[in-house]
């Protein structure tokens, strides 16, 4: 699935830990947040950027407020940048629509549930293994 949306190289997290590779990355978007900040920084180039998504759930290393504070403080002392992913806004939607219509982005829809099965949809999302979006059809 990840290759089908444009990835050139894929690391299977069940087999390898990307923070233990020799490879250094200019940009890491951490969607899962199950590595320590120091592990992520080690995988970055000297002036690379780490973007933290708003991870939730078990194994994630620090609460949202703590992450914001840490990102703010660290950014003043190190060359690497630590940022929080912005919240989606209404202004983003037309940009996303244009990119999707131009074929530059392909949304991945895993499952679609009827409104009456919203609880089941949320349980599935909460499993931590939904691939892309879970849709409630209204």
Ligand X SMILES: NC(=O)c1ccc[n+]([C@@H]2O[C@H](COP(=O)([O-])OP(=O)(O)OC[C@H]3O[C@@H](n4cnc5c(N)ncnc54)[C@H](OP(=O)(O)O)[C@@H]3O)[C@@H](O)[C@H]2O)c1
Interaction residues for ligand X, span 16-35 (CB under 6 A): 31-32, 34
* Nearer residue to ligand X within complex by CB, 46 or 65: 65
Which of 13, 75, 96, 98 binds ligand X (CB under 6 A)? It is 13
Is residue 113 within 8 Å of residue 137, measured between CB atoms? yes
Contacts of 133 (CB under 8 A, 6+ apart): 107, 108, 109, 110
Q: Mark 56-75 with x for binding to ligand X (rule: CB under 6 A) and - for no binding.
A: x-------------------
* Nearer residue to ligand X within complex by CB, 88 or 94: 88
Alpha carbon distance 27, 61 (integer Å): 20
Which of 36, 45, 54, 118 binds ligand X (CB under 6 A)? It is 54
Collapsed DSSP state (helix, strand, coil) of residue 15: coil
Is residue 131 within 8 Å of residue 1, measured between CB atoms? yes
Instruction: Tell me the window of 65-73, 89-97, 111-119, 127-135 that interacts with ligand X (CB under 6 A).
Output: 127-135
* Nearer residue to ligand X within complex by CB, 123 or 131: 131
* Nearer residue to ligand X within complex by CB, 27 or 78: 27
Nearest-10 Cα torsion for 55, 64, 85, 91: 110
């Amino acid at each position: 699935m990840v290759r089908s949306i444009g990835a050139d190289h894929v690391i299977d997290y069940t087999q390898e830990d990307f923070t233990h590779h020799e490879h250094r990355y200019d940009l890491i978007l951490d969607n899962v947040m199950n590595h320590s900040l120091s592990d992520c920084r080690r995988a970055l180039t000297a002036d690379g950027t780490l973007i933290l998504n708003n991870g939730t759930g078990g194994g994630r290393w620090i609460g949202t407020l703590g992450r914001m504070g840490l990102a703010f403080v660290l950014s003043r002392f190190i060359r690497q940048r630590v940022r929080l992913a912005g919240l989606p806004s209404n202004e983003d939607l037309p940009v996303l629509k244009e990119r999707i219509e131009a074929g530059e982005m392909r949304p991945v829809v895993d499952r679609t549930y009827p409104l009456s099965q919203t609880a089941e949809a949320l349980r599935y999302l909460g499993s931590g293994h939904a691939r892309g979006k879970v849709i409630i059809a209204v």
